[in-house]
Chains A and B, each alone.
Chain A
Amino acid sequence: MTLWASLLTMSLVMTVVAGFLAVVLRDLLAAALALGAQGLFLSLAFYLLQAPDVAIAQAGIGAALTTAIFLLAIRKTRRKEEE
């Protein structure tokens, strides 16, 4: 296994881990932060696949802007998810 393939594998595994956390966590603020981390690792995977413009779009919109919009929405509503 080459070094590039191991880096790509690690970033994809961490994308799956962060996405799992974003689904499982009941605290909506923590879920929004985990979703930000998921977008960030997905952006790293795009970067390793040598698609820099897709990585810029994913990092800017998916990781930074979506987290900010979710936080503004959580501020207007409740923080804890109900059973």
Chain B
Amino acid sequence: MIVELSFGIAAAVLLAYALVCAVRLGVGPTAADRAVALDTINTLVVAIMVLVGAAFDLMIIMDVALVYALLSFVGTLYIARYLEEGLR
């Protein structure tokens, strides 16, 4: 009970951090700010998925976090490639 509660509270705190990063995604003056905010949100959501899977004791659904941790790299890679050569 106490382990579940602490994992869940940690997930809620990380979700609040993701809200702060979403504010930066909205008001960020340059495109690099927004790219870093989106990448931070990616990492926070992967951590939230792992914490929720541990809190509800559902180890079978934790592979979503694995797949997304692999796939978010591709999105960040395309954003970085665009910022490097395609900024007009």
Interface residues of A (CB under 8 A from B): 3-4, 6-7, 10-11, 14, 17-18, 21, 25, 27, 29-30, 33-34, 36-37, 40-41, 43-44, 47-48, 50, 52, 55-56, 59-60, 63-65, 67-68, 71-72, 74-75, 78-79
Classify chain B: how many residues form its interface, as a range: 35 or more
Q: Between A and B, how many residue pairs show CB distances below 8 Å?
A: 117
Is B22 part of the binding interface, using a Cβ–Cβ cutoff of 8 Å? Answer: yes
Closest Cβ neighbor of A48 among chain B residues = B52
Which secondary structure dominates where chain A touches chain B?
helix
A48 to B38, CA, bound (A): 21
Can you name 9 A-B pairs with beta carbons within 8 Å? A3-B8, A14-B19, A21-B22, A21-B25, A25-B26, A30-B28, A36-B75, A50-B61, A56-B67
- Check if B78 sits within 8 Å of A68, measured CB to CB: yes
